Amino acid sequence: MKLEHTKERYAITACLWLFLLTFSALAQTLNLEGSWEMYNDKGEKFDKPAKVAQSGTKLSINNGYGGKSTAVLNGNTFTTSDGLTGTISADGAKINWSNAYVWVRQGATAPRKLVEIAALPGDPPPSRKIKIFNNAGFVGRMTATYYDQQGVAKTVKSNGLMVLQSETLEIPAETAPKPIEIKFLKGTGVNAQLNDTYAEFSTATIPASFNAELCYRMEGTLVNPIVSNCDNSIGDATNSDVRQIRFQNDAGYDAQMTVTYFVNEVVNGNSIPMPKTVTSGFINGLGGKFRLLNLPKETSPNLPIQIMLTGNATVKDSIFVTTLPANFAASPAPCFKVWGTLFDPKGGTCNQ
């Protein structure tokens, strides 16, 4: 009998120690400060690292491609202001994201066996890459036109990509300084020779000096095709010095945000404000989709930035219109949304 009581006391003591150790571990805030290597859902490594700044439980996150967000740690998880949820490993060296991406603290073990081979002396510089994912309801294709060092235009093309397929185009490391032109196309059928036909629905221009890898994603339908950067941003993805405006669709209809701003350009020796437009394309509200529209950090002073939210097949096309000052703060990013129904569409700021 005495032995049984002794065993019970030992068991209770062990449980208490285990509880105290667990509580102590959880009570310590995980430290995520520093640089993180990023891998997509296929285990492929991005060329730029993400950076996390931390103050207590508050996080400030930069994905290395201009996308910035904030979050608050809650144990070993957090949800960013962009709507993504991250789960931190027990050793604090890995973040598993809700979109199947993985971040690994620099210097930790990669999530998959990846081999990076350094260039040998005398080898030509490695090619740069532009990747396209097709998440759309149509056959998609991408072309990239660059100019060689003699100024001759060269065009590389992807194959026709079915839904969930991807392909990477390579651009030589050394090209003329003229910008590279990207075209996004949707399949429209076949011609009399039974060859696939395509129609251009969007374009992008990137600096010839870009390095490493860019990534784009096609979505939508034949009627409303859209393309975005793989981090859900629209606009220049090669410049980290940008401001972003967030648009989210909480409605039961397709909607888009259009932003018009001005940038000073020199024309005949004079600095003239020139209008620029960036649009999210129509996105649906299924799953609370969002887009981040990239704008230059510097726009024409004293000329406001116009925000317009429009719906597709709603009783009124123009849902919400407002302006932001040219010098609006980059953080926190302004956020606008739509909600309601086809017959009663509404729009406004995200805190409404």
Number of domains in the chain: 3
* CATH number, domain containing residue 178: 2.60.40
State the pLDDT at residue 114: 43
252 and 286 together in one domain: yes
Query: Whats the size of the chain, residue-wise?
Result: 352
State the pLDDT at residue 22: 46
Pair of tokens at residue 7: 């065993």
Of the three residues 230, 252, 270, the one that is the final residue of a domain is 230
91 and 137 together in one domain: no
Neighbouring residues of 57: CB distance < 8 A, sequence distance ≥ 6: 29, 72, 73, 74
Question: Has residue 22 been placed in a domain?
Answer: no
Question: Has residue 113 been placed in a domain?
Answer: no
The residue with tokens 């090209």 is 175
Question: Has residue 12 been placed in a domain?
Answer: no
Which stretches in the chain have pLDDT values below 50?
2-3, 19-27, 112-119
Q: How far apart are CA 171 and CA 175, in angstroms?
A: 8
133 and 225 together in one domain: yes
State the pLDDT at residue 117: 44
Pair of tokens at residue 242: 């940008």
State the pLDDT at residue 316: 86
154 and 223 together in one domain: yes
242 and 226 together in one domain: no
Nearest to 326 by CA among 307, 347, 350, 351: 307
Peptide bond between residue 304 and the one before it cis (omega within 30 degrees of 0): no
2 in helix, strand or coil? helix
Which residues span the domain enclosing 203?
A: 120-230
Neighbouring residues of 305: CB distance < 8 A, sequence distance ≥ 6: 259, 260, 261, 295, 299, 323, 324, 325, 326, 328
Q: How far apart are CA 108 and CA 164, in angstroms?
A: 30
Q: How far apart are CA 34 and CA 49, in angstroms?
A: 10
What is the pTM for the complete model shown? Answer: 0.56
140 and 218 together in one domain: yes
239 and 346 together in one domain: yes
